[in-house]
A and B are shown apart, each in its own frame.
Chain A
Amino acid sequence: MTKAAKLIRVTYLGLLILALIAPMLGLYPVFVMKLLCFALFACAFNLLLGFTGLLSFGHAAFFGSAAYVTGWLIKSQHFTPELGLLAGALASGLIGLVVGAVAIRRQGIYFAMITLAIAQMVYFVCLQVPFTGGEDGLQGVPRGALFGLISLESDTAMYYLVVAIFVASFLAITRIVSSPFGQVLKMIRENEPRAISLGYQVDRYKLLAFVLSAALAGLAGSLKTLVMGFATLSDVHWSMSGEVILMTLLGGVGTFFGPAFGAGIVIALQNMLADKVGSWVTVIIGVIFVLCVLAFRKGIVGELQAYLRRRQR
């Protein structure tokens, strides 16, 4: 094992331990849970942008519609939480299948515009259909009991479920990316015409990556509903799509841990600033966007990795 790989492993282990003892350190559990939900969302998004090279500007559609599906099923249909989460992820995976099938007909910049436009359509649908509660959203979604046995009403129980789901999803993404399938995705990112000429059915790979990313983004949205107890229009709004791009960009596109790190920074920033500076939060987010694109396109984790690599030589 190389030195770098060892370092990474130690870091992950440290983070896992930190996550497990966080409630005992006096960190506000709901905040950490929210952070982990968005970290999962960003990691799911990165599966598409970082490892397949497709910039979706409409991931809020998956995050938000899954949030609604889970909220509605649990609140009105009395689903148990695990079924609610599963249904949310499945629903967003299905929406991803439809959206992806349309969007992959174009590449690059058009792909971004198409996903943005379709997500806006999803937003308007969510605004109008009866079961989302329109402008008010779905409020007071109960957490219920896991498998009908373990009550999630206590923040501690809920917290460990969130950590478990995040870790499992993170490992799944790592596994997907390092699988032969993931290698093909990277090839598509680097040189699509070449992948086609080598006989790969590029569209199928892209579509599957899109569906996986959408389903995981949906899982994040469902989990958020369960944690916070509500799903609102801001979950499906285009600004949410923008936020997840920012988290990924800030942390490091195409790195494993970068998006989660970026999500942590953005959520913490919003948490600290929200009640102090009002609309300036939007301005600050805009400024970070501009700085990221101009000054450090690799993101924080990406730059760190590049630095470590330089030092090793």
Chain B
Amino acid sequence: MEIFGIPHQAFLGQLLLGLVNGAFYAMLSLGLAVIFGLLDIVNFAHGALYMLGAFAAWIMLDKFGVNYWFALILAPLVVGVLGVVIERVFLKRLYGLDPLYGLLLTFGLSLIFEGIFRELFGVSGQSYPVPELLSGATNLGFMVLPNYRAWVVVVSLVVCIGTWYLIERTRLGAYLRAGTENAKLVQAFGVNVPLMVMLTYGAGAGLAALAGVLAAPIIQVNPLMGSNLIIVVFAVVVIGGMGSIMGSILTGLGLGIIEGLTRVFYPEASSIVVFVIMVIVLMIRPAGLFGKEA
């Protein structure tokens, strides 16, 4: 059986891979959007935090024998705490300044993390085994589905929808959204805004780390994995616009799928297709697909 002249197993395989990548784009751009909303900082370190999550999982397994399932909880917690420290030590000094300084500072931070890990572990990747429970593949009749990839897509979707629910439908989320609109006023109503800001950055860092742990068994864990991804995620954010949570999720997934399809039909363009789409979107709708401001 073939689809557009491509063997359908290869086609569906790339589609699934695209969906997996899209899930990572969605999780990372979600975190970026939430952090930007409240802190007015574009977190360049998001890629480094994602890398740290993957490395945390790998180190836990390699040095301490902590298995995947615990790492899935522990790594995001550790990186989340690191995020809180970053916010307290560095970012809080930048509030009220031009957001460009936040971008430059977090860029510096990501260079520091990347350099340290490159020195410690080299640039060649470390492989992280797929957990036993999720190894192998399921034959669905029309395609063979690798269990781990299916798991990644499901978990990311649950996390994304969960975050959306938390922000759009709960009381805590209402504080967050109010803080995004007018932090001073929310503070005047008795909400501890600095605490909320700190925890938001921590949670965003944890979310990036979670994506890193999920990615570890699929790609080689290496110090540069974050910086290569973050630039694509920036393009995703520009395409979606940082205005809406659901918008970030949909844009991330959609672009992942488009990238996967490009890999089937015109592999040479697969690494630039997201950027090309960004340029087109900017020409037609500069605010982004889901953006509010003009």
**Cβ A105 vs Cβ B282 within 8 A:** yes
What are some 26 contacts across the A-B interface (CB < 8 A)? Answer: A55-B100, A102-B279, A116-B234, A117-B231, A117-B234, A117-B238, A117-B275, A118-B275, A118-B279, A120-B275, A121-B276, A242-B107, A279-B115, A279-B118, A282-B112, A282-B115, A283-B112, A283-B116, A285-B111, A286-B109, A286-B113, A288-B108, A289-B111, A290-B105, A292-B104, A292-B108
Fill in one digit per residue for B81-100: 1 if any A CB lies within 8 Å of its CB, else 0.
00000000010011000111
Since A102-B282, A286-B114 are in contact, a sample of 17 more A-B pairs with Cβ atoms closer than 8 Å, ordered by chain A residue number, is A55-B103, A105-B283, A106-B238, A106-B282, A109-B100, A114-B238, A116-B234, A118-B279, A249-B104, A280-B115, A285-B108, A286-B111, A286-B112, A287-B108, A288-B108, A289-B104, A293-B101
Please list the residues of chain B having a beta carbon within 8 angstroms of any beta carbon in chain A: 36, 42, 90, 93-94, 98-101, 103-105, 107-116, 118-119, 227, 231-232, 234-235, 237-238, 268, 271-272, 274-276, 278-279, 282-283, 286
State whether A109 touches B108 (Cβ < 8 A): no
Do B278 and A117 have beta carbons less than 8 Å apart?
yes
How far is A245 from B141 in the complex, measured between Cα atoms in Å?
54
Name the A residues within 8 Å of B104 (CB-CB). 245, 249, 289, 292-293
Nearest chain-B residue to A58 (Cβ)? Answer: B231
Instruction: Tell me if B115 and A283 are in contact (CB < 8 A).
Output: yes
Interchain CA distance A112-B99 in the complex, whole Å? 11
Q: Interface residues of A: mostly helix, strand, loop or mixed? A: helix
Contact B111 A282 (CB under 8 A): yes
Decide if A281 is an interface residue (CB 8 Å cutoff).
Answer: yes
| Nearest 9 CB-CB pairings of A with B | A289-B108, A286-B111, A282-B115, A286-B112, A283-B115, A121-B275, A117-B235, A279-B119, A279-B118
Q: Any chain B CB within 8 A of the CB of A110?
A: yes
Chain B residues, CB < 8 A from A249: 104
By a CB distance below 8 angstroms, the chain B residues around A112 are: 42, 100, 103
CB pair B238–A286 under 8 Å, yes or no, is no
- CB pair A106 B271 closer than 8 Å: no
Which residues of chain B come closer than 8 Å to A55, judged between CB atoms?
100, 103
Chain A, Cβ-Cβ closest to B112: A286
Flag whether A205 is at the interface (Cβ < 8 A). no
> Which residues of chain A are within 8 angstroms of B114 by Cβ–Cβ distance?
282, 286
B90 — which chain A residues lie within 8 A by C-beta? 290, 294
- Asked if A113 and B237 make an inter-chain contact with CB atoms under 8 angstroms apart, the answer reads yes
Q: Which A residues are in CB contact (< 8 Å) with B118?
A: 279, 282
A57 neighbours in B (Cβ, 8 Å): 103
A301 CB to nearest B CB, Å: 18
Render A106-140 as a binary contact track against B, CB cut-off 8 A, 1 for contact: 10111011101110110011001000000000000
